[in-house]
Amino acid sequence: MATIAVIISNMFEDSEYSEPVKAFLAAGNKIVHIGIHAGETVKGIKKGTPVIIDRELKGLQIAGFDALLIPGGYSPDQLRISEDALRFTREFVESGKPVFVICHGPQLLISARVVKGRKMTSWKSVKEDLINAGADFVDQDVVEDGNIISSRSPADLQAFIKASLNKLG
């Protein structure tokens, strides 16, 4: 059983959160929602899916977490202005632990400065940002490069979830 941190803020893409989390839980994993303020309820952009933040990012260490999920939507753009979110994300990527990122999620990795030299995919509007940050952009449903698994959109969720579960073992 893995403990998966989900870094999340308001206006996340509902399905990019709900479907992977459902699959992770079904496989016996534990989910911990992390964000700016513990106890805050954040909501999805399309369906208003409510998520209560379990742990706040300030001072949070990556120890105790086995993987990181970064759903897309506007959440990554909101989180990327938080130094605590950037630090946590950077430390997670650099640790070698699995990082699952979809759609606009790479925005957080770009701002954490951890994409240079990495093969990745994303939503089409994030493509140029990834390239400008030094990533090797690949237009595929799922891309695995070391500990980072990335996908483009909700249409790729099946492949994204399968690759993520395989990475968890």
* Residue 112, domain CATH: 3.40.50.880
Cα dihedral sign, 76-77-81-87: positive
What mean pLDDT do residues 4-12 have? 98
Q: How many domains does the chain have?
A: 1
* Average pLDDT over every residue of 59-84: 97
Q: If pLDDT is split at 50, 70 and 90, which confidence band does 1 have? A: very high
- Between CA 95 and CA 79 the distance in angstroms is 20
Q: Residue 167: what pLDDT?
A: 97
Residue indicated by tokens 């950077």: 90
- Please give the pLDDT value at position 98: 98
Compute the 3-state secondary structure of the chain and give helix, strand, coil in percent, each to the nearest 5.
35, 25, 40
Give pTM, 2 decimals.
0.98
As a residue count, the chain comes to 169
Please give the mean pLDDT across all residues of the chain. 98
Count the neighbouring beta carbons within 10 Å of the beta carbon of residue 140. Answer: 15
Give which of 104, 124, 114 is closest to 17, Cα–Cα: 104
Task: State how far the Cα of 58 lies from the Cα of 124, in Å rounded to an integer.
Answer: 31
Domain of residue 22, residue span: 3-168
Joined together, the tokens standing for residue 74 give 């506007």
Tokens, residue 81: 């202005």
Whole-number pLDDT of residue 68: 98
pLDDT tens digits, one per residue of 125-143: 999 999 999 999 999 999 9
> Which active-site residues does the annotation give?
103
Residues 132 and 162: their CA atoms lie apart, in Å, by 29
Q: For the residues 60-65, what does the mean pLDDT come to? A: 97
| pLDDT more than 90, % of the chain | 99
The tokens describing 27, both together, are 């496989």
What is the sign, positive or negative, of the torsion defined by CA atoms of 110, 5, 157, 97?
Answer: positive
Q: Kindly report, residue by residue over 34-56, the tens digit of the pLDDT.
A: 999 999 999 999 999 999 999 99
pLDDT at res. 106: 98
